[in-house]
């Protein structure tokens, strides 16, 4: 007897996102439709943001707003626009009881206290690349609420930890617009057809190669990287791996997901806790990569095992092909062992 996962992936390339979601829901007798509708709401907002991105240079929505967001980063006009689009879609869809956005300081309540789900979202990742027409993206994460239905969502709904995610994904706005997501049964990808206004199944079962020929990091911070990261990257260069770094997390991640590779954002002297946001970037991308057969670590800890304590908590990120991440971890373990060996034993009394 085939599993629900096998039945879903049997759908042909070219299946619309709506039909795919409907068929997937049919595979689970106890599904009630809320999660399916949430994915549709996200796809709807993505279509609108895709339109805005495609005409950004003509519509006076490129450039900075002249103010900082809660992360201390300069807000771009399209950051604000995308934030509005996704919050509005999730509010009007009435399936999410609350939203947590990278652009906002606190929980956004949708008014639907009966909703069973909450959504954490980075509405527009890589927005500093908007003005130069480089690929950017949206990253999202969905949790089943733990607070009682009928009440407003609480902090605990968003701080359950990465293993509690029921769905996660991203939308890449590039040479084509893609929506890639998982509900815990593999990873699927849909490509947007502008003339028809539909997402179509284009990647029915995404698996990351065990090893790739690419490493992705900002080598401008080389001298601030931990020694084991520099040693690993030096070996990558000796092995003649290619350095590829767009500076837009979704774009770098997407390439490595399909082709194989490793993305690194290590801790630095300036950001010793890491720079990437755990709830909006680390957790959803780690969930996806594990479902695709890869690994995601924050230093030497699996990203999904971190217990979050703050909405805007930051973390290092090493993510990608399993063999490459494992190799980096081996360098980290070797360095830690050497450091322990240098510590003199305590003097006896």
Q: What are the tens digits of pLDDT across the range 5-46?
A: 444 446 889 899 999 998 887 766 556 788 999 999 999 999
Residue 284 placed within a domain: yes
28 and 162 inside one domain: yes
What are the tokens at 25? 């829901």
Is 125 within any annotated ligand binding site? yes
Q: Domain total for the chain?
A: 2
141 and 21 inside one domain: yes
Is 47 within any annotated ligand binding site? no
Residue 5 placed within a domain: no
270 and 199 inside one domain: no
Give me the CATH number covering residue 182: 3.30.540.10
Q: What are the tens digits of pLDDT across the range 82-112?
A: 999 999 999 999 999 999 999 999 999 999 9
25 and 154 inside one domain: yes
Residue 57 placed within a domain: yes
Q: What does each C-alpha distance from 33 to 10, 52, 80, 147, 252 come to in angstroms?
A: 21, 29, 30, 20, 33
Q: What are the tens digits of pLDDT across the range 44-53?
A: 999 999 998 8
227 pLDDT above the threshold of 90 = yes
Least confident piece of the model among 55-64, 246-255, 299-308: 55-64
Residue 310 placed within a domain: yes
The span from the CA of 247 to the CA of 233, in Å, is 18
Residue at a domain's end among 203, 224, 249 = 203
94 and 129 inside one domain: yes
- Is the Cα torsion angle 22, 27, 30, 35 positive or negative in sign? negative
The span from the CA of 275 to the CA of 317, in Å, is 9
The span from the CA of 5 to the CA of 188, in Å, is 11
- Is the Cα torsion angle 89, 95, 98, 99 positive or negative in sign? negative
Residue 123 placed within a domain: yes
What are the tokens at 164? 């509690």
Is 281 within any annotated ligand binding site? yes
78 pLDDT above the threshold of 90 = no
156 and 48 inside one domain: yes
Is 30 within any annotated ligand binding site? no
Residue 4 placed within a domain: no
Is 173 within any annotated ligand binding site? no
Residue at a domain's end among 156, 174, 203 = 203
Is 126 within any annotated ligand binding site? yes
Is 253 within any annotated ligand binding site? no
198 and 268 inside one domain: no
What are the tokens at 312? 């805007």
| For residues 287-297, average pLDDT | 98
Is 279 within any annotated ligand binding site? no
- Give the domain extent around 311: 214-338
Share of the chain above pLDDT 90, in %: 74
The span from the CA of 211 to the CA of 295, in Å, is 11
Is 128 within any annotated ligand binding site? yes
Helical spans, DSSP H, in 104-248? 155-158, 227-238
196 and 260 inside one domain: no
232 and 306 inside one domain: yes
Residue at a domain's end among 173, 203, 233 = 203
Q: What are the tens digits of pLDDT across the range 238-290?
A: 999 999 999 999 999 999 999 999 999 999 989 999 999 999 999 999 999 99
Helical spans, DSSP H, in the chain? 4-9, 17-26, 34-54, 77-93, 155-158, 227-238, 249-259, 283-291, 322-342
159 and 267 inside one domain: no
The span from the CA of 332 to the CA of 217, in Å, is 17
Residue 249 placed within a domain: yes
259 and 147 inside one domain: no
The span from the CA of 302 to the CA of 44, in Å, is 32
DSSP 295-323: EEEETTEEGGG----STT-EE-EEEE-HH
Residues pairing with 121 in the sheet: 101, 140
Residue 2 placed within a domain: no
Is 275 within any annotated ligand binding site? yes
The span from the CA of 310 to the CA of 127, in Å, is 23
Give me the CATH number covering residue 220: 3.40.190.80
Strand, helix or coil for residue 161? coil
82 and 228 inside one domain: no
The span from the CA of 35 to the CA of 182, in Å, is 12
Q: What are the tens digits of pLDDT across the range 147-197?
A: 999 999 999 999 999 999 999 999 999 889 999 999 999 999 999 999 999
Q: What is the model's pTM? A: 0.90
pLDDT at residue 57 in the model: 62
pLDDT at residue 31 in the model: 62
Is 39 within any annotated ligand binding site? no
Is 102 within any annotated ligand binding site? yes
């Amino acid at each position: 007897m085939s599993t629900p996962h096998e039945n879903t992936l049997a759908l042909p390339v070219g299946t619309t996102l709506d039909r795919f979601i409907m068929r997937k829901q049919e595979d689970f007798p106890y599904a009630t439709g809320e999660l399916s509708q949430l994915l549709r709401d996200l796809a709807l907002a993505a279509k609108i943001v895709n339109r805005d991105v495609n005409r950004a240079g003509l519509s006076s929505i490129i450039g900075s707003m002249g103010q900082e967001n809660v992360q201390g980063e300069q807000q771009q006009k399209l950051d604000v626009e995308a934030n509005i689009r996704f919050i509005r879609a999730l509010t009007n869809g009435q399936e999410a009881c609350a939203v947590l956005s990278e652009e906002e300081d606190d929980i956004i309540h949708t008014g639907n206290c009966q909703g069973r789900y909450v959504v954490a979202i980075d509405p527009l990742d890589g927005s500093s690349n908007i003005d130069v027409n480089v690929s950017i993206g949206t990253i999202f994460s969905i949790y089943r609420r733990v607070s009682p239905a009928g009440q407003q969502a609480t902090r605990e709904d968003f701080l359950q930890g990465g293993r509690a995610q029921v769905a996660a994904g991203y939308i890449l706005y590039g040479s084509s617009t893609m929506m890639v997501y998982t509900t815990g049964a593999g990873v699927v990808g849909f490509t947007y057809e502008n003339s028809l206004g539909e997402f179509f199944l284009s990647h029915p079962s995404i698996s990351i190669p065990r090893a790739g020929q690419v490493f992705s990091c900002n080598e401008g911070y080389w001298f601030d990287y931990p020694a084991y990261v520099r040693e690993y990257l030096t070996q990558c260069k000796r092995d003649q791996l290619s350095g590829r770094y767009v500076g837009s997390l979704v774009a770098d991640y997407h390439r490595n997901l399909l082709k194989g590779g490793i993305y690194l954002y290590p801790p630095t002297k300036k950001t010793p806790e890491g720079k990437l946001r755990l709830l909006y970037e680390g957790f959803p991308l780690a969930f996806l990569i594990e479902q695709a057969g890869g690994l995601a670590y924050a230093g030497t800890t699996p990203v999904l095992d971190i217990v979050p304590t703050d909405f805007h908590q930051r973390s290092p990120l090493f993510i990608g092909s399993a063999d490459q991440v494992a190799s980096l971890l081996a360098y980290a373990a070797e360095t830690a062992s050497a450091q322990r060996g240098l510590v003199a034993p305590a003097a006896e009394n």
